[in-house]
Each structure stands twice: as structure tokens, then as C-alpha cells.
Structure 1
Amino acid sequence: MSLGELQPLLLQLEPEPGPLTPQILRALRAHGRPLRWAITAAEPQASGGCRLQIEAVILQSGGEP
């Protein structure tokens, strides 16, 4: 039985107004199960918002045993 594979992930996210953590987790879960993550950069945008760089380790589901 395969338990999955650990994959590094570098993600760019422009968050919407509101709580930040649920937005980050939702974006990470699109790639697998996030084991750990960190915001490693925040870049201001001309629109007044910001772009976040998130580095994570994701557990991707294993395929066939």
C-alpha cells in the first residue's frame, strides 16, 4: 500500500479580503494534503492588495500499491 509522496510546492496567492488562513489552506489543498507551510514573501500590488508567496510540503495521495 502506498502512503503517498511528499512534494515541495511554491504557490503565489493574491488573497481576498477576510480571514487569510482558510484561503491559504484551500489553495494548498487543491494540490494535496498540506503538512506544513509558511508565507515567505509578501509583495504589494498596484491595486492596493498584495501577492503572497507560500512555500509548502504537500502529501500527494499514492496511486496503486
Structure 2
Amino acid sequence: MSTSELAWFKSSYSGGGGDNCIEVALRPGVVLVRDSKDTGRQSLAVSRDAWSAFTTLAADSRV
């Protein structure tokens, strides 16, 4: 499956200005992350456990 066939989405916290946004796509066992402004570049693949830990830490640091 190519990255163009994946369902990419942005966080609801992303601003409408289009700057500093990432998109993620879910695959079995992995989360793909890419720059929303340059979707032609290779995506970063991280385990679902690593992504979960990252998002938990990011959410905790916003408070």
C-alpha cells in the first residue's frame, strides 16, 4: 500500500493557517507521521506504543 492510498488526518488542534502541522495514518502495528506541507517526503513510522506514549506526554505537557 502506498502512502497516497492511506487515510491521512490532522489533529483537531491543528491551526487553520496550515503551518506546523503533521498528519498521521494508521496501519496494523504502526503509525505513519508526515509533514502536511510536504506530503511527498517520506513518512516517519513509529510503533503504536511509541505513538501512544508520545501523545500522552504531549497532552500532559499542555496542562
Q: TM-score, normalised by structure 1?
A: 0.24
TM-score of the two chains, using structure 2 as the length reference = 0.24
Select the structure of larger CA radius of gyration.
Answer: 1
Greater share of helix: 2
Greater relative CO, 1 or 2 (CA 8 Å, sep 6+)? 1
